[in-house]
Amino acid sequence: MTQSACPAHVRWCRLPIGLAWRSNTLFIVSTVGIGLFTDLFLYGLVVPILPFILRDRVSLPEDQIQSYVSALLAAYAGASVCFSPPAGIIADRVPTRQAPFLVGLVALLAATLMLFLGQSIPVLILARVLQGISGAVVWTIGLALLLDTVGPENLGKTIGSIFGFISIGELAAPVLGGVIYKKAGYAGVFGIGFAILAIDFIMRILLIEKKTAAKWDEKAVGTEDDSEQQDGGTATGEDGDDNEEEPLLRKKEEDSYKVPEGQSKVVRSVPILYVLRDPRLLTAFLLAFNQATLLATFDATIPTEAEELFGFDSLKSGLLFVALVVPYLILGPIAGWAVDRYGPKPAAVLGFGYLVPVLILLRLARPGGTSAIVIFCALLSLCGVGMGVIGSPSLVEASYVVSQYDKANPHFFGEQGPYAQLYGLNSMVFSFGLTMGPIISGGLRDRIGYGNMNAVVAMLCLITTILSVVYIGGKPKFLRKR
């Protein structure tokens, strides 16, 4: 009998080496975090050198470079948007998350090699498409694997911690890529990329999912059993409430998640489509879109504004991101814990509401010396506080809504539920936000100035705040029908 064929109950079968730590929650969460970081870091690292690749290797005329750079950026975004939903559908139908997670990394490795060696437009476009496919897979599978590992009760603080970490890759990688290219050329830029890919590959290979570990040793997933018992105890306590209205309200809420019989073949094949009718889920997607748009807006405008105001080069502009990222890193886990404890509505409303005046205050940035730089850094730090708060409400809310539909319709969504499908859609929305952010902010900055551009973005945050009050976490009592 081979090791892989050993039944779960046979104790004399040799366990995989390092089963305990390879299936440990911290290792799995770290692996997902590194995977998401790698995707965003490599995306941003390559962006500033695309014009040089087109000029030096493809020998494009100067007047065609900008249009082809835009085409390469669009190829990534289009592939990520298009392949995210299929990645979710496939992931919910395969027995393990690890296999497609590794496939995504293979696509990213191939894309990076093609960008490093490619000398024609078709090869570079194919590389960006593969990079987009990898992004779709890693965000879809990674978030589903997170939920499988930590459970919905710990999802908020986990996502808050991870988003604070990966934001470094998204925000600082373009500047870092430009600096390294200036100092060490293509080899330096792609050398860092391949080193991060190697770390990511090793961690994904070593990872053992909780449900896989359970077949070998029940102790490896003991915490999941404990959480189920705790959940059961909580439910029992609620059922024991003396308030007779509570069970009736709960029953009415459960009925609202029931999927009627006679759904179309398309909905039965992709059941997450039915859930898209829920305004709470759509609002959660809006939160994800605006979060990505804000990240991309900072990425696109901070370096150019710093150059215009203070004459900063790429290295000094990169250091400005420290002011934005540090509050994000510190507050992300705290805000995530608050979301787990008090629900996503307070964080969504307070976070996006807080960003409205802070973004408007960015118009105070003026040319000058040290004092002007300090003011700009202080304003960016205030923005970082808001970004830390809004990091987790969207995914926690979306996961909760979908879990309610899954519980109310146990056989409708399949054995693994619709979670990978959900995160596929979320990846699509987030990628769309990363794409639209630079387009919107860059166009507005050129036409109406940096201050007015941020005022427009602030208005988007205000709209998001209002919709969060109405829909996130359910309608408030004063809006419910009596």
d(CA 146, CA 28): 8
322 lies in the same domain as 459: yes
Residue 246: partners with Cβ closer than 8 Å, 6 or more residues away:
238
pLDDT at 359 over 90: yes
Domain annotation covers residue 290: yes
Domain annotation covers residue 322: yes
450-470 helix and 279-310 helix, angle to the nearest 10 degrees: 160
What is the value of pTM for the model shown? 0.75
**Nearest Cα residue to 98 out of 131, 132, 159, 142:** 142
- Pair 209, 28: CB distance under 8 Å: yes
Domain annotation covers residue 255: no
Domain annotation covers residue 80: yes
The CA distances from residue 14 to 19, 209, 214, 216, 471, in Å, are 11, 18, 14, 9, 51
Reported residue count of the chain is 482
pLDDT at 7: 47
Domain annotation covers residue 229: no
414 lies in the same domain as 327: yes
Reported as a pLDDT band with limits 50, 70 and 90, residue 170 is: low
- Lowest mean pLDDT of 99-113, 278-292, 306-320, name the range: 306-320
d(CA 162, CA 332): 8
- Among 218, 234, 251, identify where a domain stops: 218
Domain annotation covers residue 254: no
Long-range contacts of 108-116 (CB under 8 A, 24+ apart): 108/38, 108/39, 108/42, 108/134, 108/135, 108/138, 108/197, 109/197, 109/201, 112/42, 112/190, 112/193, 112/194, 112/197, 115/46, 115/53, 115/190, 116/186, 116/190
pLDDT in tens, 273-282: 888 889 999 9
- Pair 377, 362: CB distance under 8 Å: no
Name which residue leads in pLDDT, 445 or 231: 445
Domain annotation covers residue 253: no
Q: What angle do CA 284, 34, 44 make, to 5 degrees?
A: 75
- Among 194, 218, 242, identify where a domain stops: 218
- Among 153, 184, 218, identify where a domain stops: 218
Q: Write phi, then psi, for 196 (nearest 5 degrees).
A: -65, -40
Segments forming the whole domain that contains residue 384: 275-473
- Pair 138, 101: CB distance under 8 Å: yes
283 lies in the same domain as 212: no
- Across the range 431-435, mean pLDDT stands at 82
pLDDT at 151 over 70: yes
CATH number at residue 191: 1.20.1250.20
- Lowest mean pLDDT of 274-283, 371-380, 422-431, name the range: 422-431
pLDDT at 243: 52
286 lies in the same domain as 428: yes
183 lies in the same domain as 279: no
301 lies in the same domain as 402: yes
301 lies in the same domain as 440: yes
Domain annotation covers residue 243: no
Gyration radius of the chain over CA positions = 23
Q: How many structural domains is the chain composed of?
A: 2
pLDDT at 175 over 80: no
